[in-house]
Amino acid sequence: MTEKWITTKADLLPQLEEQWDALHALFNILTDYQLTQIKNPDGWAIKDHVAHLTAWENSVIALLTGIPRHEGLGIAQALYNSDDLDAINKAIFDMHKDDPTHVVFPEFHKSHEKLLSLIDVLSDEDLNKGYGHFLPTETGGHLPVINVIYGNTVHHFKEHLGWIEAMLARHNSEK
């Protein structure tokens, strides 16, 4: 990742809002067909990207509330402990691939609001505490939790927005 990590809530929140708004600026102009029928070669529709982002935000919510992240993701602990991101992401996809948009998008909003409410009560000092402070039973040690939040939101949103835009461009060029 080439991005610089941030260390304060004052730096995190505007970037989080900017990326959230960028995603929704695109989602708000897409049709249900575009959200569900345009797919990557791996079979992911745009709504599957949204379900994926929700799962990873839920894992951060779990972390901040002292719940193992695999529970937030909705996957088995052994799979999470494998650190095989492709397998983890496939399991998330398989779990949500049949979820309709009227379920996926409200869940994304609900998850995001919950995460924002948790961030709201944390100080910069709290946000710079190590991962292990919030979840001592998992690996992650001294990595500041603000970096985990950033990576699973701001960075993750940018990453998926790029992939979604590429999906749409590829689809439009094939017409």
Q: Is 3 a domain residue? A: no
**85 within domain boundaries:** yes
Amino acid 140: pLDDT: 64
Q: What's the domain range around 47?
A: 9-174
pLDDT tens profile 146-157: 999 999 999 999
pTM: 0.94
Q: Are 75 and 87 in contact (CB under 8 A)?
A: no
Residue 3 clears pLDDT 70, i.e. is over it: no
The predicted structure's pLDDT at residue 38: 95
What percentage of the chain exceeds 90 in pLDDT?
Answer: 84
Query: Within its chain, how far is the Cα of 123 from the centroid?
Result: 22
How many structural domains is the chain composed of? 1
Q: What pLDDT was estimated at residue 135? A: 87
Question: Considering the domain boundaries, does residue 64 fall inside one?
Answer: yes
Selected residue with higher pLDDT from 139 and 84? 84
In a domain, 1, yes or no: no
Q: For residues 46 and 68, what is the distance between their CA atoms, to the nearest angstrom?
A: 27
CATH number at residue 102: 1.20.120.450
pLDDT tens by residue, 59-117? 999 999 999 999 999 999 999 999 999 999 999 999 999 999 999 999 999 999 999 99
Q: Under a CB-based contact definition with an 8 Å cutoff, are residues 157 and 72 in contact? A: no
Average pLDDT of every residue of the chain: 93
- Alpha helix (H) ranges present in the chain? 9-27, 32-37, 46-64, 69-73, 77-81, 85-96, 101-120, 124-127, 131-134, 145-152, 154-174
Q: What is the pLDDT of residue 1?
A: 42
